Homo-oligomer: A and B are copies of this chain.
Amino acid sequence: MRVVLATRNAGKIEELRRILAGIEVVGLAGYPDAPEVAETELTFAGNALLKARAIAAHTGQAAVADDSGLCVDALNGMPGVFSARWAGRHGDDEANLKLLLAQLADVPAARRGAHFACAAAVAVPGGEGRVAMGRIDGRIIDAPRGTGGFGYDPIFVPDGESRTTAEMPPAEKDAISHRGRAFRALAKILPEVTG
């Protein structure tokens, strides 16, 4: 079996290869004209499916895509699908994190619950597509700690942990992360979709 992962990020391709052992995973390097898919849906699952379908249609291959973000209880589950553009500009991790901390400045520890969520989708050309979800629960702390990971990792501490996900070794984080969980769940349903 062969799937195209809707990314040009080598790290993400390696991660999926580890999780989907026995399945050939390629990125978009061989598809220079693949479309940039705007994440216009209001759910992680909607955006992941949107991307997987677009890449399946473009490549004629089974395609895998994901969308993920941070959901803060005190913000009704936001930033959510807006996680990467929370401060208004896409991909400015530092501004996003800083804004979130400022918004939560008066929110006491007992009300700083949050979770990371990931939707991993697979689609085949002309087919319906399937989505698997993964999440990791925890809380938002007052100030950043750690240099690993990306995005909101420096201010997120998983339940039962004292370290932020930015302070955990990558393999340890992968084992419990929303992305790891979603991709392992996806691996189980992949054969149903790709035949």
Query: Which A residues are within 8 Å of any B CB, using their own CB?
Result: 38-40, 42, 74-78, 80, 82, 85-89, 98-99, 102-103, 105-108, 111
Of A74, A88, A102, chain B has the most CB atoms within 10 Å of the CB of A88
Contacts of A108 in B (CB 8 A): 40
Q: Are B88 and A102 in contact (CB under 8 A)?
A: yes
Q: Are A99 and B88 in contact (CB under 8 A)?
A: yes
User: 6 extra interchain contacts, Cβ-Cβ under 8 A, other than A75-B82, A87-B102?
Assistant: A76-B77, A85-B106, A88-B99, A88-B103, A88-B105, A99-B99
- Number of copies of this protein chain within its complex: 2
A76 to chain B: closest residue by CB = B76
A86 to chain B: closest residue by CB = B103
Q: Are B99 and A87 in contact (CB under 8 A)?
A: yes
Q: Are B111 and A89 in contact (CB under 8 A)?
A: no
Contacts of A78 in B (CB 8 A): 75-76, 78
Using known A-B contacts A74-B42, A76-B77, A111-B42, determine if residue A82 contacts B103 with beta carbons closer than 8 Å.
yes
Contacts of A88 in B (CB 8 A): 98-99, 102-103, 105
A98 to B99, CA, bound (A): 13
Q: Measured between C-beta atoms, what is the minimum distance from A70 to chain B in Å?
A: 13
A88 to B38, CA, bound (A): 27
Q: Measured between C-beta atoms, what is the minimum distance from A44 to chain B in Å?
A: 13
Q: Measured between C-beta atoms, what is the minimum distance from A104 to chain B in Å?
A: 9
24 contacts between A and B (CB under 8 A): A38-B106, A39-B106, A40-B107, A40-B108, A42-B74, A42-B107, A42-B111, A75-B76, A75-B78, A76-B76, A76-B77, A76-B78, A76-B80, A78-B78, A82-B103, A85-B102, A85-B103, A85-B106, A86-B103, A87-B102, A88-B98, A88-B103, A88-B105, A89-B102
